[in-house]
Amino acid sequence: MEVLYRSTRGNEESVSASKAILEGLASDGGLFVPQALPSFDKTLDEFAQMDYRQTAYEVMKLLLTDFTEEELRYCIDKAYDGKFDTEAIAPLAEVKNAWYLELFHGPTIAFKDMALSILPYLMTTAAKKNQIKNEIVILTATSGDTGKAALAGFADVPGTRIMVFYPKDGVSPIQEKQMVTQTGANTRVIGIHGNFDDAQSGVKKLFADKELAAWMEERGYQFSSANSINIGRLVPQIVYYVYAYAQLVKEGRIKAGEEINVTVPTGNFGNILAAYYAKNMGLPIKKLICASNDNKVLYDFFRTGAYDRNRDFILTTSPSMDILISSNLERLIYRIAGEDAACNASLMAALAGDGKYEITAEMKEKLGDFYGNYATQEECAAQIRSLYEDTDYVLDPHTAVAAAVYNKYKEETGDTTKTVIASTASPYKFTRTVLSAMDEKYADMDDFALTEELEKISGVKIPDAITKIRNAPVLHNIQCEKDGMKQAVMEFLEKQ
Ligand SMILES: *Cc1c(COP(=O)(O)O)cnc(C)c1O
């Protein structure tokens, strides 16, 4: 059955999966959603016999229906290979009555790799299918993690270029080093004199710049987006929930059909939405536990039905969850509105205008699959420390937020259903926060010295992703002003 994609905001014509991936965002500003979610056509016992790549094919073929089997298998084989440091790709670690689904074994040691290692192949395949001759230029603003994962994914992929803008003084030393040492003739990294919002709004302006688009068209380029609202990022994320469940069946930890809970540290609502889609496609999930940090907009939303971004933005120790506008939530709103695009569009207009909206009681009733809560920075640190003291397992701060929220859920509900916790980053990416949670003595050490300390106490080898950049030469040493971004793009594209 062919699955087409339509916008959450309008009733414009539906497009194929490959077009939706190329376009990223619908022209009316809405997000592409599948017209109907298909059901799995393999049983859970069959999934239990598959490796990661086979699982990926069986899940993704149901949603990316205009890709041929050969195309899809090519994309999957290119993505999930030796750049992951384990054959399992996404292994499960059983720690203290929960399973941590480790999504950080890719090239940049954060979960963004799960989707960004396949997106470049999906995108270039989609371009071919749609007879697009232009080179695709990926433009990204990053506060740290997305930029590096996108660079690693697109580096040296024929037919693409990638350009990343980051706030010069707004990322961690390790994050900056990861980006400025990026190899690949088609990559460019630029530090801007401004904050993340300046970078983000600058990129949005470039996407909307008609004059620039014409200049690029003349030279055979067009923009696309590797942002988390692209369905080419959402679909690959459904895979690892199916894979995790199937591994539990295979190991005899659950019976096929038995319900599990899933806990996800959430920012833009992409990862947890993928779990929700997996549930709707037939994976036996009972509760989707949505974990937030001090920026607890989603917790308030699940509790009251009112979404309100009018509040202070709090910089926390789990920066990838510091978000007040959770973009992918729009896809859930659309669904609980009975796929009523007009209703969703008016709520999103209220969000853009007043910074808030409230759903109806009828819509709120459809949120029963979700439980929301949050953990403060102190609770996050306490969680890192106590789990380490009990088990020697070291969590990164984002995963620690999820673990702390899961404990609150258990206490509140008494529900002891077996639970998978999405583990979204290696602790090596956030050594300062992780080690400070354990002992004050680490406060004065530099970030690379801290990685050695972490190796000593955790017994987990320093990942290649860190060793490789430590002495790597800086290949990108360009900075620009907030209003110099367009010029920077043109300079990059002029070069042959
Ligand atoms: C991006 C990110 C998240 C949040 O994921 P969403 O899909 O945006 O909800 C959580 N943890 C880490 C480490 C991340 O990089």
Q: Is 137 in the pocket of ligand 1 (CB under 6 A)?
A: no
Give me ligand 1 centre to Cα 425, in Å: 9
pLDDT digits (tens, 9 = 90+) for 368-417: 999 999 999 999 999 999 999 999 999 999 999 999 999 999 999 999 99
Compute the average pLDDT of residues 88-111.
96
pLDDT, the chain, mean: 94
Could you tell me the two tokens for 171? 């990322």
Q: Is 224 in the pocket of ligand 1 (CB under 6 A)?
A: no
Give me ligand 1 centre to Cα 282, in Å: 24
Per-residue model confidence (pLDDT) at position 470? 87
Pocket test for ligand 1, best of 102, 268, 321, 326 (most atoms within 8 A of CB): 321
Give me ligand 1 centre to Cα 131, in Å: 34
Per-residue model confidence (pLDDT) at position 222? 93
Better pLDDT: 198 or 4: 4
Q: By mean pLDDT, which of 60-69, 200-209, 236-245 is the weakest? A: 200-209
Q: Is 274 in the pocket of ligand 1 (CB under 6 A)?
A: no
- Does the residue 490 lie in any domain? no
Give me ligand 1 centre to Cα 321, in Å: 6
pTM, entire model = 0.95
Pocket test for ligand 1, best of 288, 325, 398 (most atoms within 8 A of CB): 398
Give me ligand 1 centre to Cα 217, in Å: 34
Kindly tell me if the per-residue pLDDT of 86 is higher than 60: yes
Per-residue model confidence (pLDDT) at position 448? 84
Q: Is 398 in the pocket of ligand 1 (CB under 6 A)?
A: yes
How many distinct structural domains can be found in the chain? 1
Q: Check which CATH number belongs to the domain holding 283 and give it.
A: 3.40.50.1100
Per-residue model confidence (pLDDT) at position 24? 87
Give me ligand 1 centre to Cα 403, in Å: 14
- Does the residue 381 lie in any domain? yes
**Atom 2 of ligand 1, nearest CA residue:** 320
Q: Give the pLDDT band of residue 142 (cuts 50, 70, 90).
A: confident
- Does the residue 369 lie in any domain? yes
Compute the average pLDDT of residues 109-138.
95
Compute the average pLDDT of residues 212-230.
92
- Does the residue 304 lie in any domain? yes
Could you tell me the two tokens for 433? 């926060």
- Does the residue 487 lie in any domain? no
* Catalytically active residues, by annotation: 112
Q: Which atom of ligand 1 is nearest to the CA of 270?
A: 7
Q: Give the pLDDT band of residue 174 (cuts 50, 70, 90).
A: confident
As a whole-number percent, the residues of the chain with pLDDT over 70 amount to 99
Q: Give the pLDDT band of residue 495 (cuts 50, 70, 90).
A: low
Per-residue model confidence (pLDDT) at position 496? 56
Which residues form the domain of 405?
92-109+232-461
Per-residue model confidence (pLDDT) at position 81? 96
SS (H, E, C) the chain: CCCCEEECCCCCCCECHHHHHHHCCCCCCCCEEECCCCCCCCCHHHHCCCCHHHHHHHHHHHHCCCCCHHHHHHHHHHHCCCCCCCCCCCCEEEECCEEEEECCCCCCCECHHHHHCCHHHHHHHHHHHCCCCCEEEEEEECCCHHHHHHHHHHCCCCCEEEEEEEECCCCCHHHHHHHHCCCCCCEEEEEEECCHHHHHHHHHHHHHCHHHHHHHHHCCEEEECCCCCCHHHHHHHHHHHHHHHHHHHHCCCCCCCCCEEEEEECCCCHHHHHHHHHHHCCCCEEEEEEEECCCCHHHHHHHHCEEECCCCCCCCCCHHHCCCCCCCHHHHHHHHCCCCHHHHHHHHHHHHHHCEEECCHHHHHCCCCEEEEECCHHHHHHHHHHHHHHHCCCCCHHHHHHHHHHHHHHHHHCCCCCEEEEECECHHHHHHHHHHHHCHHHCCCCHHHHHHHHHHHHCCCCCHHHHHHHCCCCCCCEEEEHHHHHHHHHHHHHCC
Q: Which atom of ligand 1 is nearest to the CA of 398?
A: 11
Q: Which atom of ligand 1 is nearest to the CA of 271?
A: 7
Give me ligand 1 centre to Cα 475, in Å: 27
Q: Is 228 in the pocket of ligand 1 (CB under 6 A)?
A: yes
Compute the average pLDDT of residues 78-89.
96
pLDDT digits (tens, 9 = 90+) for 25-56: 888 889 999 999 999 999 999 999 999 999 99
pLDDT digits (tens, 9 = 90+) for 297-325: 999 999 999 999 999 989 899 988 988 88
Q: Is 268 in the pocket of ligand 1 (CB under 6 A)?
A: yes
- Does the residue 385 lie in any domain? yes
Pocket test for ligand 1, best of 227, 237, 268 (most atoms within 8 A of CB): 268
Q: Is 102 in the pocket of ligand 1 (CB under 6 A)?
A: no
pLDDT digits (tens, 9 = 90+) for 450-486: 999 999 999 999 999 899 888 899 999 999 999 999 9
- Does the residue 4 lie in any domain? no
Q: Give the pLDDT band of residue 204 (cuts 50, 70, 90).
A: confident
Per-residue model confidence (pLDDT) at position 444? 87
- Does the residue 239 lie in any domain? yes
